[in-house]
Homo-oligomer: A and B are copies of this chain.
Amino acid sequence: MALDERRTQAFFALMEAGGLLEMLMEEQLRREGGISYLQFFLLARLAQAPQGRMRMTDLADTVVHSRSGLTYQAGKLEDSGLLRREPSEEDERSVSAVITDEGRQVLEKVLPGHVEVVERGMFDALDDAQAAALADALGAVRDRLRGLTPSSSERRRSRGRG
């Protein structure tokens, strides 16, 4: 049990900044696109994937915590017409989530405001050197944390089914 003053500051600042930023983004995305931050994230992942398509399991591992949680969110997005699901051809157990044209339109509509929130909230406070240092340090932290947290399928294996 150590954690000096600087590290304690860094930790609390990380948690609070992340939370506040998420709150601002949530508000902007809901207002301009009628979607949550999580839904935005899912759509953005799909949009940058080849053919706007990903297997449900792979998508679950990148964002949502349980598979049933992704089924729930995918259902909502499907109801809104922003995403569709279709059976995979190679593996008939699999389902692919595909972003629709309408989904891409919502993404485009929402993106400028989203970037603006991130710029104003996060980077107006930082110069280039600070931003670069932040990217390095947080990138290292994130990579380390990825190794410490189990994926959705690993968690499923170790407990029940989910």
Identify the A interface with B (CB < 8 A): 1-3, 6-7, 9-11, 13-24, 65, 111-112, 115-116, 118-126, 128, 130-146, 148-149
Q: Which residue of B lies closest to A122 (CB)?
A: B141
Distance (whole angstroms) from the CB of A7 to the closest CB of chain B? 5
- Per the bound structure, the CA–CA distance linking A13 and B16 in Å amounts to 15
List 14 additional contacts besides A24-B145, A130-B140; criterion CB under 8 Å: A2-B115, A3-B115, A9-B135, A14-B18, A14-B21, A14-B134, A20-B146, A20-B148, A21-B141, A21-B145, A23-B149, A24-B149, A121-B141, A130-B133
Give the distance in Å from the alpha carbon of A43 to the alpha carbon of B19 in the complex: 18
Which of B10, B123, B140 is within 8 Å of A138, CB to CB?
A: B10
Q: In the complex, which residues of chain B have a beta carbon less than 8 angstroms from the beta carbon of A128?
A: 6
**A115 to nearest B CB, angstroms?**
5
Give the residue of B1, B19, B20, B134 whose beta carbon is less than 8 angstroms from that of A111: B1
Given known A-B contacts A20-B146, A122-B11, A149-B20, A137 and B140 have beta carbons under 8 A apart: no
Among A16, A116, A125, A145, residue most surrounded by chain B Cβ atoms (within 10 Å):
A145
Select one of B7, B11, B15, B138 contacting A13, CB under 8 A: B138
Cβ–Cβ < 8 Å partners of A134 in chain B: 10, 13-14, 133-134, 137-138
Question: Which residue, A20, A137, A139, has most C-beta atoms of chain B within 10 A?
Answer: A137
Identify which of B3, B124, B132, B144 contacts A121 (C-beta below 8 A): B144
